[in-house]
Structure 1
Amino acid sequence: MGRFHAVARNIGEPSSDSSYREVSRIGYNLEHRFNDNWVLHNAFQFGYVSILQQDVTIGTGLQSDNRRLNRLTVFDSNVLNGYIIDTNLVGQLKTGNIEHKLLIGFDWYRETFDLNNSTFARAPIDVFNPVYGSPLGRRTGTTQTQRINNTFGLYFQDQITLTDNLKLVLGGRFDWLDFDSRNRINGVKTTQSDDAFSPRVGIVYQPLKNTSFYASYSRSFEQVIGNDVRGNPFVPSRGTQYEVGVKIDLFNSQLSTTLALYDLTQTNVTTSDPNNPGFNIQTGEQRIRGVELISIGELAPNWKIVASYIYTDPRITSDRTFSGNFISNSPEHTASLWTTYTIPQGSLQGLGFGLGVFYVGDREGDNANTFILPNYVRTDAAIYYRQNNLRVQLNLQNLFNTLYYDAALNRARVNPGNPFEAVLNISWEI
């Protein structure tokens, strides 16, 4: 099948599509310092998201003529509530001539998700010559589900100063995850519990005052919800990352540049079951190797800059169908440049401006690598005011209202990026 670039096309019914999203967040950060060496942190955040979609039509797949797109219409009313608590103790101590900076803490995350979904048939549409006005068809499905995720983690880290130019970092975290789901229509309940330990080891060597070499190894853990065709629950997905790099401080530490090489492998990735359509199996493995260059500094007093370039080789390394292909929605090249300037004195002291340019390269739209999401450049800006305890910031995202494609689920569902958006944040520190 030939490769093609995604093009703009509304395959819904423009006169009826309606979406609404409401997002609210509230939280706090507390700090108590026992003495010069020990400090306790506690943070809490509550988030609320309500998504309402009325008469939103989506594509489900092209017919054999590669012109007519099968469609369905969705009515959604979904509510998510999330709670996060994080508490940790940071302290410094010595064992002989060896210095330790300790971090010990725990976090708890609870998420409740109420999903109410109805789907209706909608007549196919010619994607090259669309004709709108198709009436709503019969109901094809209804979902009413409540999902609850609970995650509890214990973490620790010891940053050990062996000599003035040699440091060792040892750490890790224990995770316990519980997932509960209840079908409100038939009353069926499902549960899934997983736990794992994820270690982390790093070393930093500083041969010169402005130069540091480092290496690290870490493991990660992610619960995978679902079952195979035999009803066996999926095991957690595990990630393994190796990274080496060098950090150089230039111009009296006004500019810091880091060059890193990394290798990240994720196992137990779900993939389609070739013998049982509609089910998944866990045989997949994905690997991302890359180079990252980041510079952070101050070009002049109150004029700051952050620049980055990342090259990645994102590959599917084990899969019954897509082994050797590029991972979908993963660009090989990305780059960004963000700069801010804050007025240091006078009647406008604390007023600042930010401007950023972000480049994302071509990406494969699916794991079969049948189409490409084109590269894009997006420009963001910000205006902020910081004085005493007051923080006011206006973020202007996608300043020039650039049309770009953020990600794709498949050939029939390519998601455009957000248009121009203004977001105002106001905070007060006490």
Structure 2
Amino acid sequence: MQDQIDLTDRWKLLAGVRFDQFHQDYENRLAGTTQVQKHSATTPRAGLTYLLSDRASLYVSAGRSFRPNTGADESGGAFAPQKGKAFEAGAKWQSADQRLSGAVALFDIRKTNVLTRSPTNANFNIAAGEVRSRGAEADLAGRLDAHWRLSANLAYTDTEVTRDNNPALLGKRLANIPRVSAGLFAIREDRLASGGRYGLGGGLVHVGERTGTATDTYRLPAYTTARLTGYWQIDPRTRLTLDVHNLFDKTYYTASWGAITVLPGLGRQVVAGVQVQF
């Protein structure tokens, strides 16, 4: 349940609350045991926005979160639910012609019982005591003119285990989360002299270096991949598309699975399609 209240012409208040109930039976047939979990949580959220003008605003928000964890640890114990609290502040902007929009934000998120791969047995997860994630995000999207459409984003995320019963995890980053990530995409669209429309563009995706395990025993290298895309709108009902992912067939790794498995990214992919509306 939530509601937005106009305090004045410029000040807007958003407030809400959510109630969750969770019931889980975890049965271990090898051990012949059953664990029953019952949890409930009330999670409020609130936000305050100040309108600088019709095109720009500042905001702050805060809230709590609750999410059940499924599965069990190596000893067969069911995981307690994940709980968290988040704070965010930022600004939003839109151009006078409403073609472009952008946003910047600072955030600080703290969560307890976050599942991560066990440093001693990669077949199981463990629940970290408390994890902090803080950083900044920026994005820009829209049309530069009648032909060019653009989207760009940049994020910096600093993660750290701030409290845990295992001293080997304290101060470590969360596995598989890069400090820096970014994306850029642009496409040019226009009419054809023979009728119809076309679009031709491309983009880049960058993912920074990541830790491979909970105890940071190895790192996954940063990577940048390129993409090309195009379409031909033959008529209002028919469109041909062509996409080339990982244009330069770069070798990269998307994620790790503890100390025993690293997942490679897909090689170059060429995907063609036909869309017909009936």
Report the TM-score range of the alignment, normalised by the length of the smaller protein. Answer: 0.7 to 0.9
Residue deviations 1:350-406 (CA, integer Å, cap 9, x gap): 432331101111111112112111111111232235664666644432122111111
Residue of structure 1 in register with 2:68 after alignment: 223
Residue 323 of structure 1, aligned match among 157, 165, 170? 170
Residue 210 of structure 1, aligned match among 31, 47, 55? 55
Higher relative CO (CA 8 A, sep ≥ 6), structure 1 or 2?
A: 2
Residue 418 of structure 1, aligned match among 261, 266, 277? 266
Q: Aligned AA for 2:46?
A: V
Does 2:107 correspond to 1:259? no
- Unmatched segments (≥5 aa) in structure 1: 1-155
Does 2:142 correspond to 1:297? yes
* Counterparts in 2 of 1:191 and 1:347: CA distance versus 1, 3 Å: farther
Report the Cα offset of residue 298 of structure 1: 1.2
| Counterpart mapping for 1:3-402 below 5 A | 156-177=1-22, 194-227=39-72, 233-250=78-95, 252-270=97-115, 282=127, 284-319=129-164, 320=166, 321-344=168-191, 346-385=193-232, 388=236, 393-402=241-250
Residue deviations 1:108-148 (CA, integer Å, cap 9, x gap): xxxxxxxxxxxxxxxxxxxxxxxxxxxxxxxxxxxxxxxxx
Does 2:257 correspond to 1:409? yes
Q: Aligned AA for 2:152?
A: A
- Unmatched segments (≥5 aa) in structure 2: none
Residue of structure 2 in register with 1:5 after alignment: none
Q: Aligned AA for 2:174?
A: I
* Counterparts in 2 of 1:398 and 1:182: CA distance versus 1, 3 Å: farther
- Asked whether the equivalents of residues 181 and 208 of structure 2 are also in contact (C-alpha less than 8 Å), the reply is yes
Q: Aligned AA for 2:209?
A: D
TM-score normalised according to structure 1 size: 0.55
2-side partners of 1:232 and 1:410: how far apart? Answer: 20
Report the Cα offset of residue 206 of structure 1: 1.0
2-side partners of 1:277 and 1:256: how far apart? Answer: 43
**3-state DSSP class of the match of 2:80?**
coil
Q: Aligned AA for 1:233?
A: A
- Asked whether the equivalents of residues 56 and 94 of structure 2 are also in contact (C-alpha less than 8 Å), the reply is yes
2-side partners of 1:191 and 1:394: how far apart? Answer: 51
**3-state DSSP class of the match of 1:343?**
strand
* Counterparts in 2 of 1:270 and 1:407: CA distance versus 1, 3 Å: closer
Q: Greater share of strand residues, 1 or 2?
A: 1
Report the Cα offset of residue 173 of structure 1: 3.8
Report the Cα offset of residue 284 of structure 1: 1.5
Q: Aligned AA for 1:325?
A: K
State which structure, 1 or 2, has the greater radius of gyration over its C-alpha atoms.
1
* Counterparts in 2 of 1:266 and 1:187: CA distance versus 1, 3 Å: same
**3-state DSSP class of the match of 2:7?**
strand
Residue of structure 2 in register with 1:107 after alignment: none
- Asked whether the equivalents of residues 296 and 305 of structure 1 are also in contact (C-alpha less than 8 Å), the reply is yes
Report the Cα offset of residue 417 of structure 1: 1.0
Report the Cα offset of residue 423 of structure 1: 4.4
Residue deviations 1:83-129 (CA, integer Å, cap 9, x gap): xxxxxxxxxxxxxxxxxxxxxxxxxxxxxxxxxxxxxxxxxxxxxxx
Residue of structure 2 in register with 1:19 after alignment: none
Q: Aligned AA for 2:266?
A: N
**3-state DSSP class of the match of 1:163?**
coil
Aligned residues: 275
**3-state DSSP class of the match of 1:208?**
coil
- Asked whether the equivalents of residues 334 and 361 of structure 1 are also in contact (C-alpha less than 8 Å), the reply is yes
The sequence identity of aligned pairs, in percent, is 35
2-side partners of 1:178 and 1:389: how far apart? Answer: 49
2-side partners of 1:172 and 1:273: how far apart? Answer: 34
- Asked whether the equivalents of residues 271 and 284 of structure 1 are also in contact (C-alpha less than 8 Å), the reply is no
**3-state DSSP class of the match of 2:78?**
coil
1-side partners of 2:175 and 2:193: how far apart? Answer: 51
Q: Aligned AA for 1:411?
A: A
* Counterparts in 2 of 1:161 and 1:424: CA distance versus 1, 3 Å: farther
- Asked whether the equivalents of residues 118 and 258 of structure 2 are also in contact (C-alpha less than 8 Å), the reply is no
**285-294 vs 295-304, greater mean Cα deviation:** 295-304
